[in-house]
Amino acid sequence: MVCEMETDQQIEEMDVEVLSSMWPEDVGGTEPDNQFNVEKPAGDSDTLKEVDIAEKRTMADLKRLPDLLNTTDQGSSQLTNLVKQWEYMQDHAVRLLREELKILTKQREEAEAKELKIIEEHNFETEEPENVPVLDESSDLFRRFKEKKRDKLVGRKRIEIDEEFDTVAYWKQKALSLEKMLEASTERERRLIEKLNESLKTMESHSAPVEELTQNLKRAEGFLHFILQNAPIVMGHQDKDLRYLFIYNKFPTLREHDILGKTDVEIFHGGGVKESEDFKREVLEKGKASKREITFETDLFGSKTFLIYVEPVYNKAREKIGINYMGMEVTDQVRKREKMAKLREDNAVRKAMESELTKTIHITEETMRAKQMLATMSHEIRSPLSGVVGMAEILSTTKLDKEQRQLLNVMISSGDLVLQLINDILDLSKVESGVMKLEATKFRPREVVKHVLQTAAASLKKELTLEGNIADEVPILVVGDVLRIRQILTNLISNAIKFTHQGKVGIKLKVIPKPSFASDNTHKADAEEQNGLAETSVWICCDVYDTGIGIPENALPCLFKKYMQASADHARKYGGTGLGLAICKQLVELMGGQLTVTSQVNLGSTFTFILPYKVAASNDHSDDQDEFSDMVDHQPEPDDSTEGYFQFKPLLGSIYSNGGPVMGNNFLPHKAMLPSPVKLINGNTGQSESVQVENGGYMDDTRLETGSGHCPESAHQYENGNGRCPSKESESCSSSQASSEMESEFTVSSPREDVQTETEVKETSKQPKILLVEDNKINIMVAKSMMKQLGYTFDIANNGVEAITAINSSSYDLVLMDVCMPVLDGLKATRLIRSYEESGNWDAAVEAGVDIKVLENKQMSVRSTNRLPIIAMTANTLSESSEECYANGMDSFISKPVTLQKLKQCLQQYLH
């Protein structure tokens, strides 16, 4: 800017106009309303000439402003600047003038020198012709001088004019020209003097700095106006009470006296005003310039956002006297920025959602895969299993000997377990997401091990010995999530069996001291054993070992990963989902334990899991039957809760264990080997006599060692130890024959066969008589088939009248009565039957129009001592209908369509 001003100045230097209106000198006299300080374009400022500068933008307290400029740094710096500029200009002018003066002086000197010479020459020339004759003597000398001088000054000329040197004409001419030159020189001198005077005069006119300064100030202000005229800027100065002393506003809506001397709060109302005031005050207090964006919401100019810059103003004594502030309207920018921010935010949200979705998709895919697998598995497992369990349950209602019942119990509990496990596999995802809850139930570890082994043995297709070995110190009853523990054991055992072709597979349970990974547990297992508290913690280490193919070391790391098997070859050869170990590991870890594995290729593997359990009081066996033992309520079975060793030996061909044909065997696809349980009772239960070692279960010393020392007579249990009991063998053979016969009869394994056999048994004793009253042929057909499956036969009546006729002629144990029938509906028929039961005659029926002739004949033979159970079959399951059934004397009702399950339940309820 200084530069510009300078060039400006140089151009205009020569004809600076002095203007009378000056600022700030003029300030005092100007009317406040007549905005003095908006410059009219100065005549000399060409750049501003065309620019239209709106007036009345600036308002100032005219009296205070000069003070302010004088007292503040900002003000004085401006003046200093101007003064400096002016001084510089003056210096420049002086220098120029000096230079000019120098030139002029030089010119004058030259002119004087010339004049002198001319005078000399002239004198000589004019004198010589006159004086030569007079002053002869001196003429030589003068001539010599003259020659000398001529040699010295105008040597060349002398040569030029040599020829005419002596002529009068020559000298006259010479004198004339010299005279002319002199005249010109004099003239020049006069002009120079004039010029000099003029210059001096000009100098004088520059001598007043105020005028110059005014000029510059005007220019500066004009420049500012030029720059600012369209900028959305408000500038101002406020004193330390935040009263306006000066304001520049592009869009003034208020008159000067509305603003000057007032504070923001006094001027505006609305949002942001207070904030801006506070901000200004803050700046004033802190003495530190700062910026802030404030959104105003005023009646005056609506909603506008300003970026406000406020700086404190000090006087020369470094005292705060007010603030300068500058506000730029940035509403649009703010709006854009906010829009951008919002867009960015939306974008971020969308991105987050996208990634979330991708994650979900990923998870869903994973889940889908698992579900697909589960669907296949559950199909493969559930269908045959429901048959197994269903049959076993039916079987359990029949007369069974102790051994059979025991096996059946295992069967049922295993079946239930599998069903539950299928559901639990679904829990795998729950474990992963941390929502699986563990249940704390009391259970007997020995029984769990036994059942697991027994279950495994039941489906064993190989010649493997399964053994269980439980250390004495393992509590009888512990608390834990038995389902999960069984799940783990079953998984590990089935895994072990799968990969073992010969030798043995076993479970070993022992109590260990608190492992290092569970450092927070302060209890010692030993201590707990000793103090015998009802519920203390105990760490039990469970080894599941086998003599199988082993696991190569490099496959160990991924062993517990989902869907992974040691190698693809294994997967092909041995099948399986690859989920088992992953589930085990997760379950063990969920229960606060640890699952590890050691393995040697071709020698076998040992999976070890360590889990904490609570020890439960073991003195309440009888009423604390767990899920495995409470299957049997009535028949006492050997309490094997303290057995420490179990072994299930492979048996060949036709040899069946336990003498009893187990119904379940018929539909197990692998009948070749049924292992027999070998039980060694080492407990103090006092039932040792009832325990037999069957089918040549061999034992070794280690097993004997496991036998408890409390039982001195344990040795005699092994009397049959090394040989087979002949009678048992023969029994086994016969039973196996029976089994194979049955097998040939029913090639497809399904629950029915079993029921049929059950039925046969029942028929020999007493087959209940059932009457089905139903008019719909299809329903009859379906019901017939169901009854057949359940092992019952029945008579059919097509309507109420037929039913009454049938009941009259024969005695029934149960009537299944359709409600809605032609001729006589079920409700009416039931009422009539009840009436007959009460009165002993069919009068009511006769009244209702039933053909009594048929009835009369046999009336006397009918027994009516017992109330005949009548079960309604109704399509309406609404309570109204059922109430109607009961109101009409029916005992129960089955909602249609009748299913096997419903029918079974009903028959069981009313026929047993």
CB of 776 to other proteins, least distance (A): 4
Task: Give the helix/strand (H/E) hosting 491.
Answer: helix 482-498
How many positions of this chain bind other proteins (CB under 8 A)? 30
The answer to whether 686 and 669 have CB atoms below 8 angstroms apart is no
Comparison of 374 and 457: residue with beta carbon closer to other proteins:
374
Q: Which of 639, 798, 896, 910 binds other proteins (CB under 8 A)?
A: 896
Q: Which of 19, 96, 343, 875 binds other proteins (CB under 8 A)?
A: 875
CB of 361 to other proteins, least distance (A): 24
Q: Which of 13, 900, 904, 911 binds other proteins (CB under 8 A)?
A: 900
Residue 889 dihedral angles phi and psi, to the nearest 5°: 95, 10
CB of 787 to other proteins, least distance (A): 10
Interaction pattern, residues 241-280, with other proteins; x per rule: CB under 8 A: ----------------------------------------
Residue 749 within binding range of other proteins, rule CB under 8 A: no
Residue 40 within binding range of other proteins, rule CB under 8 A: no
Residue 377 within binding range of other proteins, rule CB under 8 A: no
CB of 897 to other proteins, least distance (A): 4
Comparison of 382 and 523: residue with beta carbon closer to other proteins:
382
CB of 754 to other proteins, least distance (A): 12
Alpha carbons 174 and 794: distance in angstroms, whole number:
176
Task: Give the helix/strand (H/E) hosting 335.
Answer: helix 331-396
Instruction: Show Cβ contacts of residue 107 under 8 Å, excluding neighbours closer than 6 positions.
Output: 188, 192
Residue 782 within binding range of other proteins, rule CB under 8 A: yes
CB of 798 to other proteins, least distance (A): 12
CA angle 804, 810, 815 (to 5 degrees): 55
Q: Which of 260, 457, 663, 786 binds other proteins (CB under 8 A)?
A: 786
The answer to whether 870 and 827 have CB atoms below 8 angstroms apart is no
With H, G, I as helix, E, B as strand and everything else as coil, classify residue 604. Answer: strand
- In eight-state DSSP terms, residue 72 is B
Residue 750 within binding range of other proteins, rule CB under 8 A: yes
Residue 669 within binding range of other proteins, rule CB under 8 A: no
- In eight-state DSSP terms, residue 235 is E
Picking from 551, 554, 545, the residue whose alpha carbon sits closest to that of residue 599 is 551
Chain position carrying tokens 């330390």: 240
Comparison of 693 and 786: residue with beta carbon closer to other proteins:
786
Q: Which of 822, 859, 877, 883 binds other proteins (CB under 8 A)?
A: 822
516: tokens are 């290092």
Task: Give the helix/strand (H/E) hosting 239.
Answer: strand 233-239
Residue 341 within binding range of other proteins, rule CB under 8 A: no
CB of 899 to other proteins, least distance (A): 5
CB of 383 to other proteins, least distance (A): 5
Which of the stretches 205-213, 332-340, 674-682, 893-901 binds other proteins when contact is defined by CB under 8 A? 893-901
Burial of 726: CB neighbours in 10 Å, binned 0-12, 13-18, 19+: exposed
With H, G, I as helix, E, B as strand and everything else as coil, classify residue 611. Answer: strand
Picking from 763, 776, 758, 753, the residue whose alpha carbon sits closest to that of residue 873 is 776
Instruction: Show Cβ contacts of residue 899 under 8 Å, excluding neighbours closer than 6 positions.
Output: 786
Count Cβ atoms below 10 Å from residue 226 Cβ, excluding itself: 15
Comparison of 357 and 375: residue with beta carbon closer to other proteins:
375
Q: What is the DSSP string of 496-557?
A: HHHT--SEEEEEEEEEEPPPTT-TT----HHHHHHH--SS-EEEEEEEEEE-SS---GGGST
With H, G, I as helix, E, B as strand and everything else as coil, classify residue 328. Answer: strand
Residue 867 within binding range of other proteins, rule CB under 8 A: no
Which of the stretches 374-382, 445-453, 471-479, 555-563 binds other proteins when contact is defined by CB under 8 A? 374-382
Residue 775 within binding range of other proteins, rule CB under 8 A: yes
Residue 781 within binding range of other proteins, rule CB under 8 A: yes
Chain position carrying tokens 């039973």: 735
Cα–Cα separations (whole angstroms), residue 243 to 187, 264, 313: 69, 8, 13
Residue 373 within binding range of other proteins, rule CB under 8 A: no
Comparison of 521 and 779: residue with beta carbon closer to other proteins:
779
Q: Which of 2, 14, 134, 748 binds other proteins (CB under 8 A)?
A: 748
Residue 789 within binding range of other proteins, rule CB under 8 A: yes
Residue 24 dihedral angles phi and psi, to the nearest 5°: -100, -5
Residue 828 within binding range of other proteins, rule CB under 8 A: no
Q: Which of 80, 105, 303, 383 binds other proteins (CB under 8 A)?
A: 383
579: tokens are 């989920």
Q: Which of 126, 331, 598, 776 binds other proteins (CB under 8 A)?
A: 776
Binding site for other proteins (CB under 8 A): 375, 378-379, 382-383, 746-748, 750, 752, 775-779, 781-782, 785-786, 788-789, 818, 820, 822, 875, 896-900
